Structure 1
Amino acid sequence: MPLTDTFVKQVKHSGKAAGDKYSDGGGLYLHVTKSGRYWRMAYRFGGKQKTVAFGVYPAVTLAQARKRRDAARELLAGDIDPGLVKQAAKAARALAGENTFEAVAREYHSIKSSAWSESYSSKWLRLLEKDFFPSLGKLALADITPPMMLGVLRRVEQRGAVDAAHTLRKNAGQVFRYGIQTGRCERNPVPDLQGALKPLSVKHMAALLEPVKVGELMRAIDAYTGQPVTRGALLLSALLFQRPVNIRSMEWAWIDLDAAMLTIPAQEMKRTQAGKMNGRPHFVPLARQAVEALREMLLLTGHREHVFPANRGDGRPMSNMTINAALRRMGFSGDEMTAHGFRAMARTLMIERLPGIHADVIEAQLAHSKSGPLRAAYDRAEYMDQRRTMMQAWADYLDKLRQGADVLQFKKA
């Protein structure tokens, strides 16, 4: 006899390992086990006995289970296997899930992240998680239109993050191109947004670019009354013009004072993960003044791992805020000079003021990415003579600026 709602609600598992089956008719039965109550339908198709599942009670009621049974029987009457229909529907749902913006974006990120730097990889995904996934993440790529995307980007703009909006647009474009390549969508709506966003704000790291002001800076470093380690970091920032993170995290193991060479390991450089793992170290020839400064530091911190250790003595390098804080203490505002500004300062003044130095030699010493065969050649260790000559010329020029001399000489054309 047919089941009743009361029976289905109250029936208990008898304790049998295989469970208990209670028929409702037409192949539908309730399978009661230790773990729960399950709706099943037994049927024959193609000469074989089969079973199709209809869900779990009470999520699926008796009435709902009967409707699913009736639908399955209609399929059987049309010589269609209801089990295969269910499998196809499940596959379609799974495929739809794989085609969502979030699923494709995460797949693309997982494939590409090994070739990206750790910071870029993290930022790339974090931006999408914050702004795109909540609004568009569950939509299929093919269903996302330019107006939908613009709506998200407008909200990012409205909170003042114009640069982030442009970055998101670029990242989304990468996702859609990957979606096209993998058959998840047929077009990329991102190019349709060209010109729709507010223009990018062009920002430059504040740097002193006038010789007179650079002379003032060098004299201020000499007169700095704060921590001697901080003064040393300021001086080496000017002499070496490497990235702030490479200055403050510099280790004594990287330095050969007799050979006058700083060798920054590849994994410490601003590179992709592949570049960090397989690339060459970055060589920084040390001018006479830099060697002298490091010998002074050796007396202070030579017993520590880092040339510029943190005051806490916990084995970590100097904070990333120390140099900027020292510049403020010396009277240079954030609009005038930053820790990163030493790089722009050196690059600009060497190009404008020091004759005979090839721009590619400067770029190689800055460890900027290479854009041509000559730049690549200058980045090789065997071209170190040109770089060593340049580093000494730069240190000598800073000495002249410190003394207030040679501030008006321009490079000859």
Structure 2
Amino acid sequence: MPLGDTFVRQAKPSGKPAGDTYADGGGMYLLVKSSGKYWRMDYRFAGKRKTLALGVYPAVTLAQARKRREEAKAQLAEGTDPSITKREDKLAKKAIAGNTFEKVAEQWLKATKADRKEITQHKLQTWLKKDIFPSIGKLPITTIGPRDVLTVARKMEERGARDSAKRLVQICGQVFRYAVAEGSAERDVTQDLKGALQKAEKRHYAAITEPAQLAPLLRAIDGYMGHLYSRTALKLTPLVFVRPGELRTAEWVEIDFDAAEWRIPAAKMKMANDHIVPLSEQAIALLREVQPISGHGKYVFPSIRTGERPMSENTVNAALRALGYDSTMQTAHGFRATARTIMDEVMGERVDLIEHQLAHAVKDANGRAYNRTAHLPARKAMMQRWSDYLEQLKRGAEVIPLQRQG
């Protein structure tokens, strides 16, 4: 007689070491042991007696077990061993589970790390962890479609980050292409998203370029009462006018107090060239102020949560906002334009020296790029004049425009 649901539910083990078996027909039976109730099916394949596990009760009901039995019988009729099919399916599912977007992305980051700067590697890790993994990280990469990636990108567009949304799709595309090369995906699904995103507007960094407007900002910065790291970074930003990423990742080994120089390695620079930032007396004083606190660690401006990472990329901009200067008025990156404009138009400094100090590509008369030490003595003098100018401006002293350097 076939088994019934009530009988299966009430069946108890008798204590036999091998357990008790109750047939349901077609080779299927219920094996009752002290450890649980198991569905089994006996069959013959290639002349050999075999047993197939159909599941554990109550996770697998009587009806479900019977369905699996019929599927196994169909496979036998086609000349296929259901035990082998089950094992292959299990391995395939395991492979898919271990082939998630997150795991493939981590493999891609590790495999391509040598191809990018340390700061870029950190940004990619942050984007993936913060914006991509929460949505599609746990999904098998073979199951992700164009719409899944588009949904993540659209969320960023809704926040107003159009350029970041486009960059996110590009990152996903690189992961997919890596997966294709490794044989863990069939194609790059992001190719179907061309034209699906809004065009990113050209980015301009707000900057104050009039001395009369810069003076009150400098006084506000001087009175900022934030944490020592953010306070010092904020004060140092207009003096050295490097890119925000270069400032926040500054390391003590790069600072030469004797030579009054900050030597930034090429790996951190946008143009991938070593760069020297002459340090004025005012810049040295600021670094000396923070050295007793962070000097024992790697970074000049470490994260206040852990000294193992640099401060957040938004720290200086957040300080500016706290002073009442939002992204439409002045940004950390905007101090580069501030220095570029005032040093040229007000102070009369040589444009080629300014461009050198901005780490822009500058070529000589023969079209050859200058090296990092080009015109270093002249740049040191210029940087000191710039710091002195800002100090006078901050104090409210009358600043007379200088004649352009010859």
Q: Normalising by the residue count of structure 1, what TM-score does the alignment of the two structures yield? A: 0.68
Task: Give the direction of change, closer, same or farther, for the CA distance of 1:47–1:359 in structure 2 (3 Å limit).
Answer: farther
Percentage of identical aligned residues: 39
Letter in 2 for 1:342: F
Partner AA of 2:128 in structure 1: W
In the alignment, the residues of structure 2 paired with residue 330 and residue 159 of structure 1 have an alpha-carbon distance, to the nearest angstrom, of 24
- In the TM superposition, 1:197-212 aligns within 5 A as 197-210=197-210
Rate the CA distance shift 1:131–1:202 in 2: closer, same or farther, 3 A: farther
Aligned counterparts of 2:67 and 2:301: Cα–Cα separation in 1: 73
Query: In the alignment, residue 113 of structure 1 is paired with which amino acid?
Result: L
Residue 57 of structure 1, CA deviation: 1.3
Figure out how many residues of one structure are paired with residues of the other and give that number: 376
The answer to whether the 8 Å contact 1:157/1:165 transfers is yes
> What is the alpha-carbon distance in structure 1 between the residues aligned to residue 321 and residue 5 of structure 2?
78
1:394 aligned onto 2:387: no
Q: Which moved more, 1:390-399 or 1:256-265?
A: 256-265
Deviation at 1:358, TM superposition (A): 5.7
Distance, in Å, in 1 between the alignment partners of 2:255 and 2:152 is: 49
Mapped pair 1:30 → 2:15: no
Output the amino acid matched with 1:56: V
Shift of residue 28, structure 1, vs aligned partner: 1.9
Is 1:49 the counterpart of 2:49? The answer is: yes
Q: Is the 8 A contact 2:254 2:264 kept in 1?
A: yes
Give deviations 1:275-328, integer Å, cap 9, x for gaps: xxxx9997533235544x35xx74x66643359999x9x999999888657757
Matches of 1:348 and 1:158 in 2, distance apart? 34
Cα 1:48–1:356 change in 2 (3 A) is: same
CA distance in 2, matches of 1:349, 1:178: 47
Q: Secondary structure at the match of 1:258?
A: coil
The yes-or-no answer on 1:341 pairing with 2:331 is: no
Alignment counterpart, residue 121 of structure 2, candidates 109, 117, 122: 117
Instruction: Give the residue type in structure 1 aligned to 2:131.
Output: L
Q: Find out whether 1:285 has 2:289 as its counterpart.
A: no
- Match of 1:354, SS state, is coil
Q: Where in structure 1 are there 5+ consecutive unaligned residues?
A: 273-278, 368-372
Q: Contact 1:131/1:156 (CA < 8 Å) preserved in 2?
A: no
Counterpart CA distance in 2 for 1:309 and 1:138 is 39
Is 1:128 equivalent to 2:132 in the alignment?
A: yes
Contact residue 221 and residue 234 of structure 1 kept, 8 A: no
Counterpart secondary structure, 1:13: coil
> Contact between 1:400 and 1:406, CA under 8 Å: does it hold in 2?
no
1:107 aligns with 2:103: yes
Counterpart-to-counterpart distance in 1, 2:234 and 2:78: 83
Instruction: Tell me which moved more, 70-79 or 118-127.
Output: 70-79
- Name the aligned partner's letter for residue 350 of structure 2: P
1:186 Cα deviation from its structure 2 partner: 4.7
CA distance in 1, matches of 2:2, 2:320: 86
Q: Specify whether residues 32 and 374 from structure 1 end up closer, same or farther in structure 2 by C-alpha distance, changes over 3 A only.
A: farther
Q: Which residue of 2 aligns with 1:236?
A: 236
Q: Distance in 1 between matches of 2:132 and 2:33?
A: 44
User: Which whole-Å CA distance do the structure 1 matches of 2:293 and 2:235 have between them?
Assistant: 19
- SS of aligned partner of 2:375: helix
Residues 236-267 of structure 1 deviation map (CA, whole Å, 9 limit, x = unaligned): 3222223557657878776443332345699x
Contact 2:40/2:53 (<8 A) preserved? yes
Note closer, same or farther for the CA distance 1:346–1:108 as it changes in structure 2 (3 Å cut): farther
Give the 3-state SS of the residue equivalent to 1:37 in structure 2: strand
Q: Which runs of 5+ in 2 are unaligned?
A: 114-119, 362-366
- Whether the 8 Å contact between 1:206 and 1:338 is mirrored in structure 2 is yes
Counterparts of 2:232 and 2:268, CA distance in 1: 23
Q: Matches of 1:284 and 1:33 in 2, distance apart? A: 77
243-252 or 333-342: bigger deviation:
243-252
